[in-house]
Structure 1
Amino acid sequence: MASSTDIAQRIIEAILAQRLAPGSRLGEQALSILFDCSRTQVREALMRLAAKGIVTVSSRRGWFVVQPSHDEAREAFEARRIIEMGLIRLAEPMDKAAIGRLRQHLKQEKAALKGSDIGQRSYLLGDFHVCLAECLGNLLLADTLRDFTARTTLIAMLYQSTHDAEQSCQDHVAIVDALERGDIAAAEQLMQAHIGQVQAALRLNAPKDPIAQLREALAPLKEREAGQQATTPPGAKPKPPLTPPQPETYLGALL
């Protein structure tokens, strides 16, 4: 029987592997069957994840994986940048065992890049940052980074990141190389550039007004006519004062 901690951890791992997409529904009954446990334990796990900003709950619809907004995406990457650069800046020289563990992780990343399991590749690329924090000796921040990495994975799925997985692996190799030779300043700069490149690869277009057409349709008649006259070129035939409602303005499509 799985504990609430096990359930929460498995959900985070599934997100890191891109097997749970933003907006995925997490039914309590289905999870209790999958993990052979009570709904109380499932609810405890989901409440932990909600406190970390990874899932959200609706009183009528249930539990869902979050769908981060543009501002939340920016904040998540800013948080990761501060945590990871700070970890490296304050790091003591790494011993051979820690470097060996990181090298083994990089070996697994390279093997995953040659394979066809995209989930395994995604998981390892995200888990590198958690592994690095553990090797730098801060388990508390490693747990925090696991949560932030899960959120940035959701952001990458939601906003269709174009960052190349092979480039991520190369960045990781360069960071470990710098740490191994004791060049903390270079490692910090490489980490900053790496996180910046991952963030820059997101297709974060300016958010659109989801009710623009409804807003226009329900504007006072005089205001609409004035707006149409202002946008009508000289000599052009003005638009009719009222236009037929478009299907997109149906309220059901906006809820």
Structure 2
Amino acid sequence: MPDLNKPQHIADRIVDAILARKLAPGARLGEQPLADLFGVSRTIVREALARLAARGMVEVNSRRGWFVVQPSIEDARDAFAARQVIETGLLQSAGSRIDGPALKRLQKHVSQERAAVRAADAGERSFLLGDFHVCLAECAGHTTLAEILRDLTARTTLIATLYQSPHEAAVSCEEHAEIVAALERGDGALAVDLMRRHIEGVAAHLSPTAPADPLASLRVALSPVGPSAQALHTTTPTGRPPRKKRLFTDLMPPTSPLEN
């Protein structure tokens, strides 16, 4: 039973939320709200966030606080390249360590992915598709690599959120199924090739999107109201442009030129 007051538990919950796309890139992580939510001190929360910062999940601004990282396109390339090296190498060295019980666990995981895809449960689907790679590392007996892949898959989830990969969830799910089927047949070379193509396929579909307009809400709020631009340029029956209405009248009438 995990200690809910430990920094590691809080850090794990935040990573799970990132994997499920419940925390978006740039989301603010307030110390006091997190302390209230978990029933702990801000010191505990700060330690959890510092651990995540060391793992590249969050960053801190001395004036504005803690935020989920916003990876750049260069970060995206690095993360997917790292995943390809780790995951293909993991499968090459797995050998007979992925035994019957491990294969059943992987098959069950793929079944859960398919159910989430059918149910259109975006959060569960995103979490399971990322967790497959962690599960595979655990089934191969690589607990250390599983921890590394957990962070890398969370980072690539943030990247996919930012750069809108059109690589469909259903496609990823079936590619996972093909990898498991190759392992079940004992064809390690094919499993390695399928994993390489799977990661390359996801990475190849990443493309930078137009940055959000930081002035969007202000732009809408201050857009012109009242007559349209066309109405403002219409003329009166005399041929003269209409006089603009004044927002305020004079408090006192204007003085006559003869008055001193």
Whole-Å Cα distance in 2 between the matches of residues 91 and 201 of structure 1? 29
SS of 1:19's equivalent in the other structure is coil
Give 1:163's aligned amino acid: H
How far does residue 116 in structure 1 lie from its aligned partner after superposition?
3.0
1:88 to 91, 98, 118: 91
Counterpart of 1:237 in structure 2 is: none
Whole-Å Cα distance in 2 between the matches of residues 205 and 186 of structure 1? 34
Matched, 1:54 2:57: yes
Whole-Å Cα distance in 2 between the matches of residues 95 and 148 of structure 1? 25
Counterpart of 2:258 in structure 1 is: none
Counterpart of 2:109 in structure 1 is: 105
Counterpart of 1:14 in structure 2 is: 17
**TM-score w.r.t. length of structure 1:** 0.79
CA-to-partner distance for each residue in 1:25-44, whole Å, 9 max, x for gaps? 00000100011111111011
Report the CA distance shift for 1:78/1:206 in structure 2 as closer, same or farther (over 3 A): farther
How far does residue 205 in structure 1 lie from its aligned partner after superposition?
6.8
Identical-pair percentage: 60
1:127 to 115, 131, 146: 131
1:37 to 40, 43, 48: 40
2:143 to 139, 146, 159: 139
Give 1:127's aligned amino acid: D
How far does residue 95 in structure 1 lie from its aligned partner after superposition?
1.0
How far does residue 66 in structure 1 lie from its aligned partner after superposition?
0.3
How far does residue 142 in structure 1 lie from its aligned partner after superposition?
0.1
How far does residue 105 in structure 1 lie from its aligned partner after superposition?
0.4
SS of 1:175's equivalent in the other structure is helix
**TM-score w.r.t. length of structure 2:** 0.78
SS of 2:66's equivalent in the other structure is strand
How far does residue 204 in structure 1 lie from its aligned partner after superposition?
3.3
How far does residue 98 in structure 1 lie from its aligned partner after superposition?
0.3
CA contact (8 A) 2:28 2:65 kept: yes
Give 1:176's aligned amino acid: V
Counterpart of 2:159 in structure 1 is: 155
Counterpart of 1:214 in structure 2 is: none
Whole-Å Cα distance in 2 between the matches of residues 200 and 165 of structure 1? 15
Unaligned residue ranges in structure 2 (runs of 5+): 212-260
Whole-Å Cα distance in 2 between the matches of residues 205 and 41 of structure 1? 36
Which aligned segments of 4 or more residues in structure 1 are displaced greater than 6 angstroms? none
1:178 to 154, 175, 182: 182
How far does residue 75 in structure 1 lie from its aligned partner after superposition?
0.4
SS of 1:22's equivalent in the other structure is coil
SS of 2:60's equivalent in the other structure is strand
Paired residues for 1:231-250 under 5 Å: none
SS of 2:56's equivalent in the other structure is coil
Give the number of aligned pairs. Answer: 207
Report the CA distance shift for 1:119/1:206 in structure 2 as closer, same or farther (over 3 A): closer
Whole-Å Cα distance in 1 between the matches of residues 135 and 99 of structure 2? 15
How far does residue 117 in structure 1 lie from its aligned partner after superposition?
1.7
Question: Which shifted more, 5-14 or 89-98?
Answer: 89-98
CA-to-partner distance for each residue in 1:16-72, whole Å, 9 max, x for gaps? 000000000000001000111111110111011000111000100100000001111
CA contact (8 A) 2:162 2:209 kept: no
Matched, 1:24 2:23: no
Whole-Å Cα distance in 1 between the matches of residues 15 and 104 of structure 2? 26
RMSD: 1.3
CA contact (8 A) 2:164 2:209 kept: no
Whole-Å Cα distance in 2 between the matches of residues 79 and 192 of structure 1? 12
How far does residue 206 in structure 1 lie from its aligned partner after superposition?
10
Whole-Å Cα distance in 1 between the matches of residues 40 and 165 of structure 2? 36
SS of 2:95's equivalent in the other structure is coil
Counterpart of 2:201 in structure 1 is: 197
Rg larger for: 2
Counterpart of 2:168 in structure 1 is: 164
